[in-house]
Structure 1
Amino acid sequence: MSNQGLKSLFPMENIAVMGIWELLPHFYNFRVKLKETVEAALQFQPHVVVTVDSKGFSFRLLKQLRARYNQQRSDRPVHFHYVAPSFWAWKGGEARLKGLSKFVDHVFCILPNEEAGCKLNGLNATFVGHPILEDVLELNMGKETALHEWKITGNGEDFRKKYAIASGATVITLLPGSRLQEVTRMLPIFSNTMKLLKDSFPELVTVIHVAPNQLVDNYIAKAVHKWPVPAILIPGGTPQLKYDAFNASLVALCTSGTVAMELQLARLPCLVTYRAHFLTEWFVRHKAKIPYISLPNILLDSPVIPEALFQACTPAKVAFLLKELMNNTVLQQQQIAAAEKVMELLCPPNRTRNNTEQQGMKPSPPSYSPSMIAASTILSYKQR
Structure 2
Amino acid sequence: MSARPLRVCLVAGEASGDRLGAPLIRALREELGDRGLEIRGVGGELMQAEGLHSLFPSDELAVMGLFEVLPRLRAILARMDETAADVAAWAPDVLLTIDSPAFGLRVARRARAACPGLTTVHYVAPSVWAWRPGRARKMARYTDHVLALLPFEPPYMTAEGMTCDFVGHPASRLPRPSAEAQAAVRAQIGAAGRPLLCVMPGSRRGEVARLAAPFGEALGLLAQRHPDLAVVLPAAAGVADAARELAAAWPVEAHVLDPRGLDPAEAERRKFAAMAASDAALAASGTVTLELAAMRVPQVIGYRVNPLTAVIARRLLKIDTANLLNLLLKERAVPEFIQHFLVPAKVAAALDPLLGPGPARDAQLSAADRALALLGRDGEPPSTRAARSVIAAAARGPRRG
Q: TM-score range by the shorter chain?
A: 0.7 to 0.9
Secondary structure, in 3 states, of the residue corresponding to 1:252?
A: strand
- Aligned equivalent of 1:220, options 221, 228, 243: 243
Aligned partner letter, 1:294: N
* 1:374 aligned partner: 386
Question: Is 1:157 aligned to 2:197, yes or no?
Answer: no
Is the Cα–Cα contact under 8 Å of residues 135 and 239 in structure 1 kept in the other structure?
no
TM-score, normalization by structure 1: 0.84
**Superposed, which structure 2 residues align to 1:1-384 within 5 Å?**
1-70=47-116, 76-90=117-131, 93-133=132-172, 135-136=174-175, 155-167=181-193, 169-213=194-238, 216-236=239-259, 237=264, 238-326=267-355, 329-347=358-376, 368-383=380-395
TM-score, normalization by structure 2: 0.81
**What is the distance in 2 between the residues matched to 1:34 and 1:186?**
29
**What is the distance in 1 between the residues matched to 2:378 and 2:227?**
47
Aligned partner letter, 1:315: P
Shift, 1:23, TM fit: 1.8
1:203 to 1:348, Cα distance in 2 relative to 1, 3 A: closer
**What is the distance in 1 between the residues matched to 2:285 and 2:344?**
16
1:337 to 1:226, Cα distance in 2 relative to 1, 3 A: same
1:166 to 1:378, Cα distance in 2 relative to 1, 3 A: closer
Secondary structure, in 3 states, of the residue corresponding to 1:116?
A: helix
Secondary structure, in 3 states, of the residue corresponding to 1:233?
A: strand
**Residues 335-359 of structure 1: per-residue CA shift (max 9 Å, x gap):** 1001111111101896xxxxxxxxx
Aligned partner letter, 2:165: T
Is the Cα–Cα contact under 8 Å of residues 195 and 355 in structure 2 kept in the other structure?
no
Is the Cα–Cα contact under 8 Å of residues 176 and 209 in structure 1 kept in the other structure?
no
Aligned partner letter, 1:52: I
Shift, 1:253, TM fit: 0.3
Is the Cα–Cα contact under 8 Å of residues 279 and 356 in structure 2 kept in the other structure?
no
Shift, 1:189, TM fit: 1.7
**Residues 244-279 of structure 1: per-residue CA shift (max 9 Å, x gap):** 222332210001111101110011100011011111
Structure 1: tracts of 5 or more residues without a match? 71-75, 137-150, 351-367
Is the Cα–Cα contact under 8 Å of residues 204 and 230 in structure 1 kept in the other structure?
no
Is the Cα–Cα contact under 8 Å of residues 153 and 243 in structure 1 kept in the other structure?
no
Aligned partner letter, 2:105: F
**What is the distance in 1 between the residues matched to 2:50 and 2:276?**
29
Shift, 1:166, TM fit: 4.1
**What is the distance in 1 between the residues matched to 2:171 and 2:356?**
29
**What is the distance in 1 between the residues matched to 2:111 and 2:173?**
30
Shift, 1:324, TM fit: 4.3
1:86 to 1:152, Cα distance in 2 relative to 1, 3 A: farther
Superposition RMSD in Å? 2.0
**What is the distance in 2 between the residues matched to 1:110 and 1:89?**
15
1:153 to 1:113, Cα distance in 2 relative to 1, 3 A: farther
Is the Cα–Cα contact under 8 Å of residues 128 and 348 in structure 1 kept in the other structure?
no
**What is the distance in 2 between the residues matched to 1:182 and 1:44?**
35
Is the Cα–Cα contact under 8 Å of residues 246 and 268 in structure 1 kept in the other structure?
yes
Is the Cα–Cα contact under 8 Å of residues 98 and 121 in structure 1 kept in the other structure?
yes
Secondary structure, in 3 states, of the residue corresponding to 1:88?
A: coil
Shift, 1:313, TM fit: 0.7
**What is the distance in 2 between the residues matched to 1:281 and 1:225?**
28
* 2:32 aligned partner: none
